Structure 1
Amino acid sequence: MSRLGHDIKAALHQIHSIAGLVLALLLSLIALTGAIMSFEDEIVDHLNADIMHVAPRTVPALMPDELVARLKAAQDLGKVSAVTLSSDPSAAVRVRFARDEQGARPASLYVDPYDAHVLGAPRGEEFFATVRRLHRWLLIPGDAKGWGRQITGVAALGLIVMLISGLVLRWPRRAGSVKMWLKPNFGLGGRALHRSLHAVIGTWVLPVYLVMTLTGLWYSFDWYKDGVVWLLSRPEVAEAKMQPKMSAKAARAAGRAEPAPAIGFDQAWTTFRRDEGDHFSRALFTLPAGPGTLIRIRSWGKDSTLDTTRDEFRIDAVTGQVISAERYADKTLGEKIIANVLDIHRGAFLGWPGKLAFMIAAALMPLFAVTGILLYLSRRRVRRPAQPSLGRLVPGE
């Protein structure tokens, strides 16, 4: 190797080591919380199987506004912000509530669609909500508006630096040898074994970590998100998505300054059922956070296997007029990639094998933290100059 190549590798080794030491614990925390959430949907559905369904009846289900009115009459639960309705007559209605003045959000409820009887709050919801806030924002106050979002983004950028520098540092002389790349040497011991595990298993998970970090940055930096939207979307779609949005705080302030008319779900539900029939499996109706009458509807088809493959509508809650309809089938490839960022981030776009592979890769992050620290400490011991034994010291030296 030339002197220049040796100097470049030495610099990369220094960068790799420093970044790893600084970010080891933070990346391990982010990765482990991500692994915990890998099968959140399946776990929550299993825990709540007894309250998510009811016995179908011959009487028609209540209209959403009547259901909400009966629910409020039975107990004071706060302002309803969204309901999830289904075309399945045996599916319970899920009711979600707005945040209170302190920013806390009451637990959602599953409700019988025929008589508004409360079936129960979903088990595991609060646990996974806490894990999600830890994963995304490190539980730092402010959530998405606080510093946690930027800190996790910087950690993701640091991981990309470590992945690229690690790949360069371990590039073998026989680059075409699959064995050199992918087979750890368990016959080694001590520092050599740590290096083998760190390098080889790092090669296994490198593509997964790159996908995780490149999609994770979407949730950390607006400039990154806007850049991806500009790159992958049609110009008119990109321009619409990049419009600044009113914050929830500003929306509440505007609502106090100009009281919004009382609106409900019925008109939008009637229009949606008229246009969609029974072609959907479930639909999430969300009331506007501030003044306005547009209800946002996210609708999933019966053949949808991913949470992000959905249609989205805006319907005026007063007139029932469809203001906009954004169908997943009409999106370009780039726009479908944008729509599926979350499922790409967690491997769900590859089905349950992909989610399992991404979960295992995330759970392995502490291995790199431990082996990296052990390698650093052993390297420090090797470089430390040997101290002469006391028996050989000459008085006065």
Structure 2
Amino acid sequence: MSETTLRPPERAATTTEDPADPAPRRRARWRGALLRLHFYAGVFIGPFILIAALTGTAYALTPQLEAWLYHDELTATSPHDPLPLAEQVHAAQQVVAGAPLHAVRPAPEPGATTRVLFADPSLGASEFRTVFVDPGDGTVTGDLTTYGTSGVLPLRMTLDQLHRNLLLGEPGRIYSELAASWLWVVALAGVTLWAARRKRNRTRRRDPAPARATATRRHSRLGIAMLGGALLLSATGLTWSAYAGANIAELRTAAGWSTPEVDTSAAHREQDPHAEHRGADGDSVPGDTAAPAPSDDATVETVLAAARGAGIDASTIEIAVPERPGDAWTVSEIDRSWPTQVDTVAVDGATGEVTDRVRFADYPLGAKLARWGIDLHMGTLFGWPNQVALAAVGAGLTAVTVLGYRLWWQRRPGRAGFGRPVSRGQWRGLPRWALVAAGATAAAIGLLTPLFGLSLLVFVVVDVLIGRLAALRRRRLSHTG
């Protein structure tokens, strides 16, 4: 919501412009149409933006709290040299009673524990049962559920899901996608209206209401300060949204900007003569005599040594077990800070041969930008300064939204009800080419971000219906009068 919602466009103004000149009237129509869009978007999408800002701020500020809360699980106290990684994995396997091994994250530094991740069908997508092992003596220090590549622990996992989908699962993602889809629209519309208001104030008197004028200045100045952060959060948030994210992924693929992945099936195809006779899901079919995969806890040592020899030198890595027997293991750098370390290699667990590799330096530019944008959005790219910046943007967006609602409340007629929107029909005075261009632009954006397009269509339809009902009511009153 913009400060310009304080004045209906029909209000008289002191101006030096020529009344015969159509340009000022056309500019007023443009401003009125944009203001009406900004008003409705702010009123109805504001709650989604507010929730996303609050939950995002909480997520950005919790890494240190999480480190304190889960200190026992994360801290290794044994003074001995680390045991072989296979022994650490074996110690974790004694706790989970036969659960399939998913991945291993060796202790990244002295004093830290090793994480051994197990698949658990009772958990949600990207969630793993994680056993924490002291590398020095193999003592299990904890057993928690972790989430995603970042491996966040239960506190931040809950906040992440709250921010992403309000703890409602996939249906709840509609809320966050609506917020991301409209945030940039509301922000750019507000800046445009602010610029138009500054220009208009040079030739007309200021708002006589001090309280509204003060709230207007705070809303607009804070909105300008938050513009860059709002646009960045909107763009990066859309990349992993449900509907717009899928469209963006298709565009990146078409442009050759997809994130490259290692081919884990290379060793499988070369060494398994029956590879072509496997089912689509990798299960054995009659006549399949392939040998079973080596023991996971023993192979992990071979895979780690091969990866280190192939240049995987980050302290924070993940060794992932192949999904199918005969496929290659993957060893990935997962250090998302700056400079980014996300190189990956595929390793044949039977021979220790590196069968494929992907270096971050070889990523397409679009894939690099996507990686940095997501890590910036999550507060991991630059460490605590990134967290502070995200918290500041989240607090600023919260304040801008609250001030916008305050302006709406102050604009209510006769100090009763709610603030009035700008009058209808602003588009009628615009050139036809402008209407066609605006419609085409809205349609293109709506196709890319379907929830934006659908919600905009709902706004328009509801607005038209309300206008028709109001017109019918006026006619009825005039006839009865």
Provide the residue aligned with 2:6 in structure 1: none
- State the alpha-carbon separation in 2 of the partners of residues 313 and 208 from structure 1: 35
Aligned equivalent of 2:258, options 229, 232, 238: 238
- State the alpha-carbon separation in 1 of the partners of residues 300 and 342 from structure 2: 18
For structure 2, the 5+ residue unaligned runs are 1-22, 146-151, 203-208, 264-279, 421-480
Q: Where in structure 2 are the equivalents of 1:266-345 lying within 5 Å?
A: 266-276=298-308, 279-289=313-323, 293-299=327-333, 305-306=337-338, 309-331=341-363, 333-345=365-377
Q: Where in structure 2 are the equivalents of 1:135-154 lying within 5 Å?
A: 135-141=163-169, 146-154=170-178
- State the alpha-carbon separation in 2 of the partners of residues 41 and 229 from structure 1: 33
Provide the residue aligned with 1:11 in structure 2: 33
Provide the residue aligned with 1:184 in structure 2: none
Amino acid at match of 1:118: V
Check the 8 A contact 1:70/1:116 in 2, yes or no.
yes
Aligned equivalent of 1:225, options 237, 249, 255: 249
Provide the residue aligned with 1:130 in structure 2: 158
Report the 3-state secondary structure (helix = DSSP H, G, I; strand = E; otherwise coil) of the residue aligned with 1:55.
Answer: coil
Cα displacement (A) at 1:291: 6.0
Provide the residue aligned with 2:438 in structure 1: none
Provide the residue aligned with 1:392 in structure 2: none
* Larger gyration radius, structure 1 or structure 2: 2
Amino acid at match of 1:357: A
Provide the residue aligned with 2:51 in structure 1: 29
- State the alpha-carbon separation in 2 of the partners of residues 22 and 87 from structure 1: 46
Matched, 1:119 2:120: no
Cα displacement (A) at 1:351: 4.7
Check the 8 A contact 1:54/1:92 in 2, yes or no.
no
Check the 8 A contact 2:330/2:346 in 1, yes or no.
yes
Cα displacement (A) at 1:208: 0.5
Check the 8 A contact 1:35/1:359 in 2, yes or no.
yes
1:169-191: CA deviations, max 9, x gaps? 1105667xxxx9xxxxxxx8422
Provide the residue aligned with 2:399 in structure 1: 367
Amino acid at match of 2:54: L
Amino acid at match of 1:131: L
Report the 3-state secondary structure (helix = DSSP H, G, I; strand = E; otherwise coil) of the residue aligned with 2:195.
Answer: coil
1:227-246: CA deviations, max 9, x gaps? 24554xxx4x63956x9xxx
Provide the residue aligned with 1:355 in structure 2: 387
Cα displacement (A) at 1:297: 1.9
Q: How many percent of aligned residue pairs carry the same amino acid?
A: 27
- State the alpha-carbon separation in 2 of the partners of residues 257 and 33 from structure 1: 46
Amino acid at match of 1:166: G
Report the 3-state secondary structure (helix = DSSP H, G, I; strand = E; otherwise coil) of the residue aligned with 1:364.
Answer: helix
Provide the residue aligned with 2:213 in structure 1: 192
Cα displacement (A) at 1:102: 6.0
- State the alpha-carbon separation in 2 of the partners of residues 379 and 292 from structure 1: 69
Provide the residue aligned with 2:206 in structure 1: none
Provide the residue aligned with 1:387 in structure 2: none
Provide the residue aligned with 2:408 in structure 1: 376
Q: Where in structure 2 are the equivalents of 1:377-396 lying within 5 Å?
A: 377-381=409-413
* More moved, 75-84 vs 11-20: 75-84
- State the alpha-carbon separation in 2 of the partners of residues 98 and 197 from structure 1: 50
Report the 3-state secondary structure (helix = DSSP H, G, I; strand = E; otherwise coil) of the residue aligned with 2:226.
Answer: helix
- State the alpha-carbon separation in 2 of the partners of residues 286 and 208 from structure 1: 35
Provide the residue aligned with 1:159 in structure 2: 183
Cα displacement (A) at 1:199: 1.1
Check the 8 A contact 1:308/1:342 in 2, yes or no.
no
1:178-207: CA deviations, max 9, x gaps? xx9xxxxxxx84222222221110110110
Provide the residue aligned with 2:84 in structure 1: 62
Cα displacement (A) at 1:371: 1.9
Amino acid at match of 2:186: M
Provide the residue aligned with 1:206 in structure 2: 227
Matched, 1:98 2:119: yes
Report the 3-state secondary structure (helix = DSSP H, G, I; strand = E; otherwise coil) of the residue aligned with 1:320.
Answer: coil
| Cα 1:327–1:54 shift into 2, 3 Å | farther
- State the alpha-carbon separation in 1 of the partners of residues 325 and 26 from structure 2: 63
Report the 3-state secondary structure (helix = DSSP H, G, I; strand = E; otherwise coil) of the residue aligned with 1:319.
Answer: coil
1:240-263: CA deviations, max 9, x gaps? 56x9xxxxxxxxx93677799455
Provide the residue aligned with 1:2 in structure 2: 24
Report the 3-state secondary structure (helix = DSSP H, G, I; strand = E; otherwise coil) of the residue aligned with 2:60.
Answer: coil
- Per the normalisation by structure 2, the TM-score is 0.64
1:82-141: CA deviations, max 9, x gaps? 210146454321122213246485652320224431112469821211111111222223
Provide the residue aligned with 1:388 in structure 2: none
Check the 8 A contact 2:38/2:190 in 1, yes or no.
yes
- State the alpha-carbon separation in 2 of the partners of residues 39 and 109 from structure 1: 25
Report the 3-state secondary structure (helix = DSSP H, G, I; strand = E; otherwise coil) of the residue aligned with 1:110.
Answer: strand
Check the 8 A contact 2:304/2:319 in 1, yes or no.
no
CA RMSD between the two structures: 3.6
Report the 3-state secondary structure (helix = DSSP H, G, I; strand = E; otherwise coil) of the residue aligned with 1:340.
Answer: helix
Provide the residue aligned with 2:427 in structure 1: none
- State the alpha-carbon separation in 2 of the partners of residues 225 and 154 from structure 1: 18
Check the 8 A contact 1:112/1:118 in 2, yes or no.
yes
* More moved, 292-301 vs 18-27: 292-301
- Per the normalisation by structure 1, the TM-score is 0.76
Check the 8 A contact 2:107/2:114 in 1, yes or no.
yes
- State the alpha-carbon separation in 2 of the partners of residues 332 and 295 from structure 1: 24
Amino acid at match of 2:77: V
Check the 8 A contact 2:306/2:347 in 1, yes or no.
no
Report the 3-state secondary structure (helix = DSSP H, G, I; strand = E; otherwise coil) of the residue aligned with 1:54.
Answer: coil
- State the alpha-carbon separation in 2 of the partners of residues 162 and 83 from structure 1: 44
Aligned equivalent of 1:169, options 183, 188, 193: 193
Report the 3-state secondary structure (helix = DSSP H, G, I; strand = E; otherwise coil) of the residue aligned with 2:281.
Answer: helix
Matched, 1:20 2:48: no
- State the alpha-carbon separation in 1 of the partners of residues 324 and 412 from structure 2: 59
- State the alpha-carbon separation in 2 of the partners of residues 281 and 350 from structure 1: 17
- State the alpha-carbon separation in 2 of the partners of residues 257 and 194 from structure 1: 69
| Cα 1:77–1:211 shift into 2, 3 Å | farther
- State the alpha-carbon separation in 1 of the partners of residues 405 and 363 from structure 2: 46
Check the 8 A contact 1:287/1:296 in 2, yes or no.
yes
- State the alpha-carbon separation in 1 of the partners of residues 158 and 323 from structure 2: 23
